[in-house]
Amino acid sequence: MVLFYNWLRKGLPSSQEQQKDAPLYLCLGYSGAYSFLWYPTLAYLSLLNFGQDHKYIYYFLLIFIFIVIPALLSVAYIKVNTKIRRYVYVESPSSRAWDCVFKDLEPCWARIYLKDSNVIGGKFGNNSFASAYPYEEQIYLEEIWILDEDGEFQEPLPGSKGMIILHDEIKAIEFLKGEAEK
């Protein structure tokens, strides 16, 4: 229905719009499958007039089935998926290395190699930010540093409050070990 409405309103969605809507459709699909699995139980209870005879228990059961269990399953999925991913390859829901790297990245130094052959160096700290799926890759470095000819960090760029670098400009990013404190 949503796809049909969008198509009537503005034509077929682009692949980028489809990527942004993918989590919504995935959630709708899972919720539909989940409801389908519980349908026989609820239909049986309805045939027995369980809702009329035991109104409060029936409402409690509905809340438990449609709110509590899905919430617990979501939390369990996240916890198990996070633990398993460290030992076994599990496909990420986003399928992008960008999201996986920045999700658990500790403060560090970064060299960003641009497509025009320039290099930007800076601190990716607690006040830095990297965009996540489904949005395009962007990174905000909270401190920009002057680099020497060898790419070594010299000193903070005077007057800089950081920099946002867009995905169109980035060729590669190098993360350096060691705390980003100088």
CATH of the domain at 123: 2.30.30.100
Rg from Cα positions in the chain: 24
% of the chain at pLDDT higher than 90: 27
Burial of 122 (0-12, 13-18, 19+ CB in 10 A): buried
Tell me which of 85, 116, 139 is where a domain ends: 85
First to last CA, the chain: 55
Secondary structure class of 164 (helix, strand, coil): strand
CA distances to 113, 143, 150 from 109, in Å = 13, 10, 15
Q: Which of the residue ranges 4-8, 34-38, 151-155, 157-161 would you say has the lowest mean pLDDT? A: 4-8
Full residue range of the structural domain in which residue 108 is found = 97-176
Residue 92 lies in a domain: no
Distance CA 125, CA 109 (A): 8
What does the pLDDT look like over 21-72, one tens digit per residue?
A: 666 677 777 777 888 888 888 888 888 888 888 888 888 888 888 888 888 8
Domain count, the chain: 2
Structure tokens at 110: 């970064």
